[in-house]
Amino acid sequence: MAAALLWEQSPDIAFVVLDTAGVITAWRGAAEALFGFSEEEISGSPIDVLFVEEDRVLGLPQLEREVAVSAHRSEDDRWHLRKDGARIWVTGSLIAIQQHGQHVGFVKVMADRTNLRARIETSENRLQIAQEKVQARDAFFGRLVHEVRNALGPMRIAAEIMEKRGLVVDELAKPASVVARQAVLVERMMADLADVVRVGVGKLTLFKSEFDLGAEIVDIADVVAADVEAKQQTIDVLVPPVAIPILADRQRVHQIVFNLLHNAIKYTPAKGKIWLRCTVEVNHAVIKVADTGIGIDAALLPVIFDLFTQEDPDRSGGGFGVGLSLVKDLVHAHGGFVEVRCDGKGQGSEFTVRLPLDGPSLPP
């Protein structure tokens, strides 16, 4: 009585009763609607007829029954066949029935999930297309970096030779300086882009060595001093009075700090102020870059470290929006993390990098 009510009140679920050999003895619920066979047509046939040919060749119908006998239940999602030959994606559960400790048959409960499978396949296809686009993008950027570097090298060298040999007349000194400076800037951008490609294909390698992070911070600040002066900005560099030994990739740490400083200089108005701080918290080195710049829109904060994100394209100076994304990747490669804080537009911003020291214990 209860079983009959269950079958009648489950219009989307098929219930198939089998004997111990897997032969269909009852065909209930949505079984006819799902597979197209009437009970008279299907009774006496093995459940195998509902399986697709490739699964029958693998012996999966028999395996399903063996699993159900051993574990009392066998669950799977697979393609099945309708009477008209159409394939439907079915989620099913085969239950082994026991009576007085003896196996007396099976009940298979099935539901049509073809629409769900179609959505899954559509999502998989979209993911595959997205992955192919990413691979194509990385390949394009790889070629772009190679070609631009090939063109920049001779330009930069020519500018250096002209300056060293005094071949630039006074009225061309400033334009020549701009060319040389911009060539160096574009080379840095190409180096960042090349690293983004390496991260994307899993080929970024760290060459760790022990060095004094505080001294490195001071040196990096010296590198950007000319840019700070050109905008009439001021920069305060604050590091501990003792060495901060850290085991890290010196060049990559330089990239991290330089990109943060470059960002601060770019988005801080003339006569603004920048702070570069370094300290230690337990077993992490903490680097902070703060400024009195234009700040970051609240809507942009969650994606500020995503590739190609730019706060203000008009102020990008021709940048690609890869600097902060590369900072995040390089920090994560070191086992650290980076975060940003901003109290609103026009309130400046503060970036904090935490890198594991991984070196000898700090002096007391």
Close Cβ partners of 325 (under 8 Å, ≥ 6 residues apart):
196, 305, 306, 307, 308, 309
Q: Tell me, yes or no, if the pTM score tops 0.85.
A: no
Element counts in the chain: helices (H) and strands (E): 11, 12
Point out which residues pair with 107 in neighbouring strands.
17, 95
Q: Which of 188-192, 206-210, 325-329 has the lowest mean pLDDT?
A: 188-192
pLDDT surpasses 80 at 364: no
Note the pLDDT of residue 245: 93
Q: Rounded mean pLDDT of 185-207?
A: 65
Note the pLDDT of residue 217: 94
| pLDDT-derived band at 355, boundaries 50, 70, 90 | very high
Close Cβ partners of 200 (under 8 Å, ≥ 6 residues apart):
134, 138
Buried b (16+ CB within 10 A) or exposed e, 24-34: bebbbbbbbeb
Structure tokens at 205: 């390698």
- Which pLDDT tens digit goes with each residue over 9-28? 556 899 999 999 999 999 99
Higher pLDDT, 342 or 319: 342
Q: Which of 168-172, 241-245, 342-346 has the lowest mean pLDDT?
A: 168-172
Note the pLDDT of residue 354: 94
- Which pLDDT tens digit goes with each residue over 286-309? 999 999 999 888 888 887 887 656
Close Cβ partners of 71 (under 8 Å, ≥ 6 residues apart):
none
Q: Rounded mean pLDDT of 222-241?
A: 91
Structure tokens at 146: 């190679």
> What is the β-pairing status of strands 273-281 and 234-238?
parallel
